[in-house]
Amino acid sequence: MTELITTGPEIEAALTERRPVVALESTLITHGLPFPENLRCARNAQDQIRLQGATPATIAVIDGQIRIGLEDAELERISQDNSASKLSRHDLATACARGLTGGTTVAATMICARKAGIAVFATGGIGGVHRGWNSTLDISADLQELARTQVTVVCSGAKSLLDLPATIEMLETLGVPVVGFGTDELPAFFSAQSGISLHQFVDNLTEAAD
């Protein structure tokens, strides 16, 4: 798989010098927001990471190549590409083999980040267990990936339209630690409150890093 991964020079330098790098997903750009809001959001996320002293690495698949750290021209391209695919774990191999372009979900971004040697990934909200799951078995691949891939995901919980109690139960079943930062309640994507208490939480960055 390594021959299918291209790491941008800025990311390569930061990793070589052991400086902090934060991965970012790209389905927000390709499927989450309309143009030009998606492009503004992607640039703003990168800017905020830089302000905190880290190097942002937006990840996507472009023409069958996994790109770790998109250039601005590539951000512009995928932000306006209506044919871009939405790529999770089960789509990655096919997308690379067929030379497709697509945004990477939480699951796919974790895989690519891990392969590139990036340990931290920031996103808005993870996928989870969908409402009515007992009749559809609609459960995001993100949850399995959180259990199998060693990447720390920093997020504002799972998307609020999901079955949040079932999602937190599934994460517990899979052995995924869910740790609140500055809160003892599971965030609900764009809301700080979900009514679901967290058993593990930390109050400062030192505790979180440990």
Examine the pLDDT at 24 and tell me if it is beyond 90: yes
> What's the pLDDT score for residue 209?
85
Condensed to tens digits (0 to 9), the pLDDT of residues 114-162 reads: 999 999 999 999 999 999 888 788 999 999 999 999 999 999 999 889 9
Examine the pLDDT at 12 and tell me if it is beyond 80: yes
Q: Is residue 93 part of a domain?
A: yes
Catalytic residue at 86?
A: no
Q: Is residue 129 part of a domain?
A: no
> What's the pLDDT score for residue 1?
62
Condensed to tens digits (0 to 9), the pLDDT of residues 150-202 reads: 999 999 999 889 999 999 999 999 999 999 999 999 999 988 889 999 999 99
Q: Is residue 157 part of a domain?
A: no
Examine the pLDDT at 2 and tell me if it is beyond 80: no
Mean of the per-residue pLDDT values of the chain: 96
Q: Which residues contact 16 (CB under 8 A, 6 or more apart)?
A: none
Considering the entire predicted model, what is its pTM? 0.95
- Tell me the torsion sign for CA atoms 105, 69, 114, 182: negative
Residue with tokens 């390569």: 12
Domains of the chain: total: 1
Catalytic residue at 115?
A: no
> What's the pLDDT score for residue 82?
96
Q: Could you give the CA distance from residue 89 to residue 61 in angstroms, rounded to a whole number?
A: 12
Q: Is residue 86 part of a domain?
A: yes
Q: Is residue 63 part of a domain?
A: yes
Q: Is residue 6 part of a domain?
A: yes
Say what percent of the chain tops pLDDT 90: 89
Which residue segment(s) compose the domain that 43 sits in?
Answer: 2-123
Catalytic residue, chosen from 3, 12, 25, 71, is: 25
Q: Is residue 16 part of a domain?
A: yes
- Beta-ladder partners of 85: 102
Q: What token pair was written down for 155? A: 């997020």
Catalytic residue, chosen from 159, 169, 185, 207, is: 159
CATH number of the domain within which 111 lies: 3.40.1790.10
Q: Is residue 22 part of a domain?
A: yes
